[in-house]
Amino acid sequence: MSKLMPRQPVPDLEVPLVGGGQWRLADQTPEHFTLICFYRGQHCPICKTYVKELDRLAGDFAERGIGVVTLSSDTLERAEATITDWNLENLPVGYGLSIDKAREWGLYVSTSRGKTSLGIVEPDLFSEPGVFAVRPDGTLYMGSVNTMPFARTHFKEILGAFDFIIKNDYPARGAP
């Protein structure tokens, strides 16, 4: 597993999107940041609540010059079901993230424990959640990685932080 460093380039990232096309980090041109939300997959009840919050706030992020995407290692079929079952309307949803790419981004990887409370079987391997803000120049501004589904930073808090960050030209922190 790699450790990403603020103000340093992040790994390339490219995934197919539900509905067609490819999402490539290198193609993103936000005014301020690209916010990348890695979620565990359709099987995760906590991701359902979490990603729905991001979906509700997607327009608020866009108004601030922040592009958003959410993605997982799910198959196309599971990602399509995620959009339908979770009533997602505003987010591009990527799928097919490789475990190697997840590890390159510093995400933790877990193995299946069978069915979740949603009644969906976990994939054999999948990444745990992470959220990253990447500047338009491809460098890491902020990252938050979880070892399990619990205790995540809420997107409403992240949105408020971006208001402060943008207003005050607050620098990336955490680099040696």
Number of independent structural domains in the chain: 1
pLDDT of residue 176 exceeding 90? no
pLDDT given at position 118: 86
pLDDT of residue 1 exceeding 70? no
Burial (CB count within 10 angstroms: exposed 0-12, middle 13-18, buried 19+), residue 69: buried
What percentage of residues in the chain have a pLDDT greater than 90?
A: 93
pLDDT given at position 12: 98
pLDDT given at position 83: 98
- In a domain, residue 56? The reply is yes
- In a domain, residue 146? The reply is yes
Note the Cα 94 to chain centre separation in Å.
9
For 71-89, what is the mean pLDDT? 98
- Return the number of other C-beta atoms located less than 10 Å from residue 43's C-beta: 24
pLDDT of residue 175 exceeding 90? no
Q: CATH number of the domain that 57 lies in?
A: 3.40.30.10
Domain housing 87:
29-166
